[in-house]
Structure 1
């Protein structure tokens, strides 16, 4: 770690060569000075906690059910270093590790976004990971599902039957280690309405807390899997987040919300909804600058499987957001952009810089890619299908 002017921090990225088999499967732990990050400061904070009194011991309390945000703020020192106005909150329903590296060890979205000047926040929801100090007891039951997750996470149709052209290393040792990283990079996940609502409520408070100063321009929630459902709900909870939460990107969201009166049955008793909210709550979601649902390769729709149903629900959710004056789109990486081999978490795949290009294009169209200290002209709530450079 090197001390620079303005107390900047230089962090050296671990890097595995793009598209190249790794002779050493642990090569990603090695430093690479060419990919140094220049940061102003880093840190973390708890938010949204409750204080419970001990019914057996008067005067004794516990502070619990908080969320945890770890933040990384790029240096802003023109003309060499420029910081973006919009902050990106990275949110997975299980583990923040998904955004820290690709599964093969290459640079993850956290570092790629920091290189481009975006302040980055890693969100760990209440009772998960570093925010696991719960207000009520819970039980962990061992669930033997590595083999089922292989198909669910879209590596192939069945265990160890890999999709052709998968965006994963072909070297056997590197592939084995990547699979170990994917299966191990998890926390206990609470897929019930009590936790969905709790996670959303604390995320809403976090959006307000991370929005500070005249130069700041709100946050975009970058979500994966069941965090997509939680982020959608977050945007409907309070007028206080209007203008603070600017957009949502949901990579393969499992679960959706819908407004009342559109022939959708509310299923709070199911782990992934759907959830139904009032029209007034729905209008808050429609006021976001954009909502983007992204699907990897090998995701058909119209059949009876969970994933096929989720693609259909994403299209219906986007249609209704747009009917209420919003700006939502569904992007299928192969069908719409010609990208082959992406998995359930495309930001962890070997072509994740291409996937990041899709995000950058969406931020640009929505006027959310501006830099501090610059006046951005002619940008706004851009609509139309996103494009990506390959």
Structure 2
């Protein structure tokens, strides 16, 4: 792995900023804990008789397919909590300390006075008890994700990438990946998020990447979702009959919109929503040779089509590129980049604009 020693000014600025916020300021917590949200119970066929044979499965139950939620509530918290849902191959670790040990969004937003609820989605991480079997592979794919997450084009880190240009950072980052313990079920994850909001109460849902899909469904399901912040969502909801055609791409994962019922789409129109994209993303109609870039070109295009449809029906939706806000160098993991404090400030600016930060 080659480490680029010529850091850009933006990255150097991020390093200086990170040193100033490396340690979290003291925060008084009035409550913290964890719980399971949602889930299923299945029963094996047969009659329960564990006294005769404790290993006999007949009639025994399995509790699984729930989300795991860890929460913290600061003193004098804002009215709306923040509920965080990670993306593909990730867990609640996404929102905790960054790979190089700085404060992640969990601590940053606690310090800003928000109650935080961090989810491991069903069949992932600490919510790994699945009701369906799956074979977990051990596929070497670090370099694939490195390119897809716009950290660089292996083995080079992009000069403007706002991450520490070190082997240690990448080693810690790769170790945050965790497998599915059952098949990914969009509705199942949405139900887990909805159940989490039942305990959290009113709040803003913050999703990342593949968490965007179930996040949109949960927003339509739960009256407690008062706003949605989607960080580089992988898909977007369109009313039935209006899902745009899939765009040609050099990425192995084409950007596909998801159809929702007209009734659910009407519910989404009542919720303020913002989607943030990081750096090194351009729109346009022509596929790019760099598939890692092209993967996000088509998703940005899809997001803009979604924004137009939302606004056409009177929704409050906005797509924002962080470089347009003067926040430069962000990878797909903007919550752990060197300038994650600036990203959090921008998110709070939007929440204040929408009256969600009271």
- TM-score in terms of structure 2 length: 0.83
Q: 1:316 to 1:272 in 2, by over 3 A?
A: closer
Provide the secondary structure at the position in 2 that maps to 1:294: strand
Distance in 2 separating the partners of 1:337 and 1:191:
39
The answer to whether the 8 A contact 1:42-1:72 is kept is yes
1:139 alignment partner, one of 127, 135, 139: 135
Q: Which residue in 1 is equivalent to 2:83?
A: 89
Q: CA deviation at 1:189?
A: 4.2
Q: What does 1:139-288 align with in structure 2 at a 5 Å threshold?
A: 139-156=135-152, 158-170=153-165, 175-189=166-180, 195-211=185-201, 218-236=202-220, 238=221, 241-242=222-223, 244-264=224-244, 273-288=256-271
Q: What does 1:1-390 align with in structure 2 at a 5 Å threshold?
A: 19-20=15-16, 32=23, 35-58=25-48, 59-75=59-75, 82-93=76-87, 94-156=90-152, 158-170=153-165, 175-189=166-180, 195-211=185-201, 218-236=202-220, 238=221, 241-242=222-223, 244-264=224-244, 273-288=256-271, 290-302=272-284, 303-304=286-287, 305-334=294-323, 336-370=324-358
Provide the secondary structure at the position in 2 that maps to 1:70: strand
The answer to whether the 8 A contact 1:104-1:178 is kept is yes
CA-to-partner distance for each residue in 1:78-107, whole Å, 9 max, x for gaps? xxxx31111001110222111102222111
The answer to whether the 8 A contact 1:103-1:181 is kept is yes
Distance in 2 separating the partners of 1:47 and 1:95:
15
The answer to whether the 8 A contact 1:127-1:134 is kept is yes
Q: 1:190 to 1:245 in 2, by over 3 A?
A: farther
Distance in 2 separating the partners of 1:52 and 1:272:
35
Gaps of 5+ in 1: 1-16, 76-81, 212-217, 371-390
Q: How many residues align?
A: 320
Distance in 1 separating the partners of 2:124 and 2:254:
17
The more displaced of 359-368 and 98-107 is 98-107
Q: CA deviation at 1:247?
A: 1.1
The answer to whether the 8 A contact 2:237-2:258 is kept is yes
Gaps of 5+ in 2: 1-12, 49-58, 247-252, 288-293
Q: 1:366 to 1:113 in 2, by over 3 A?
A: same
Q: 1:265 to 1:201 in 2, by over 3 A?
A: farther
Q: CA deviation at 1:338?
A: 2.6
Distance in 1 separating the partners of 2:182 and 2:42:
24
Q: 1:21 to 1:112 in 2, by over 3 A?
A: closer
The answer to whether the 8 A contact 2:129-2:181 is kept is no
Q: 1:52 to 1:117 in 2, by over 3 A?
A: same
CA-to-partner distance for each residue in 1:116-151, whole Å, 9 max, x for gaps? 110000011111111111111111112221111111
Distance in 1 separating the partners of 2:29 and 2:351:
22
Provide the secondary structure at the position in 2 that maps to 1:347: coil
Distance in 1 separating the partners of 2:181 and 2:337:
25
Provide the secondary structure at the position in 2 that maps to 1:311: helix
Distance in 2 separating the partners of 1:358 and 1:189:
32
CA-to-partner distance for each residue in 1:27-55, whole Å, 9 max, x for gaps? 9xxx95x7222211210111212111111
Distance in 1 separating the partners of 2:313 and 2:46:
51
Higher RCO (C-alpha 8 Å, min separation 6) = 2
